Amino acid sequence: MKKSKIRKGFMKSTATSSLLFGVFLCLIGGMNGYGGQAMEGSTPPEGRFGLFLTLGFLAPRDADFRKIYGSPVFFPAFRAEGRVYNRFSVWAEYSLTSKKTGTIPVIGEKAESSQSSLAFGGGYSGWIDGGLSYQVRAGLCSISYNETALGSEESGNVLGFKIEGSLFYRIKSNFFLEAAAGYSAGSETDGALSVELGGLRAGLGLAWRF
């Protein structure tokens, strides 16, 4: 893991991402209410509830992790959501990265790492045209990690944030294909050591709305 990072930097990045997400929602809301016929009268994809299964890859944000284990990391993710008002919804997601084995540079010792993430937050959805729809999401995440190296095992849990966007294409009735991309980050400093988790992620999946 990288050497010490100041926790204040993490809080600043979280606030910045939340602000950008809020601005993005305002822009979309303005587009939907402006009067263009394609957006006017459009409604969110039908179904108050949704289940989503995504398979994708994560590009870790920690440079030392990439040196030891390489990049990207495969992860499956399962998400459930419920629409609470008009275009707005709440969601919860669980994802698990594949176990990675690597070699510590210079000393050549073997290392093994695995991670999982539980996230929840809010989203905004709408139709674009025909069978194409979109959703933007933001929320908090709790990332758990376990690493075995140099004869010892380190594990812990880090709080962070997640922002993500998806495009959906209807394939049949209430079933959709999903293409998703986003970013997550969580940091924790303990003395001279800093744990940096998350990174850029992208995936494809299936969605069922009902």
- Domain membership of residue 100 (yes or no) is yes
Query: What's the mean pLDDT in 177-195?
Result: 85
- Domain membership of residue 119 (yes or no) is yes
pLDDT tens for each residue of 187-206: 887 666 677 899 999 999 99
Q: What is the CATH number of the domain that holds 184?
A: 2.40.160.20
Amino acid at 93: E
- Domain membership of residue 27 (yes or no) is yes
CA distances from 158 to 14, 143, 196 (A): 14, 5, 9
Supply the mean pLDDT for the chain.
80
Q: Is the pLDDT of residue 143 over 90?
A: yes
pLDDT at 188: 80
- Domain membership of residue 40 (yes or no) is no
pLDDT at 46: 65
- Domain membership of residue 1 (yes or no) is no
Which residue, 85, 43, 80, is CA-closest to 209?
A: 80
Looking at the structure of the chain, the number of domains it has is 1
Q: Tell me, what DSSP letter sits at residue 170?
A: E
Model confidence at 18, pLDDT cuts 50, 70, 90, reads: very low
Which residue, 110, 142, 129, is CA-closest to 45?
A: 129
| Alpha-carbon span 197 to 1, nearest angstrom | 9
pLDDT at 24: 44
- Domain membership of residue 43 (yes or no) is no
- Domain membership of residue 59 (yes or no) is yes
- What domain range includes position 21? 7-33+49-209
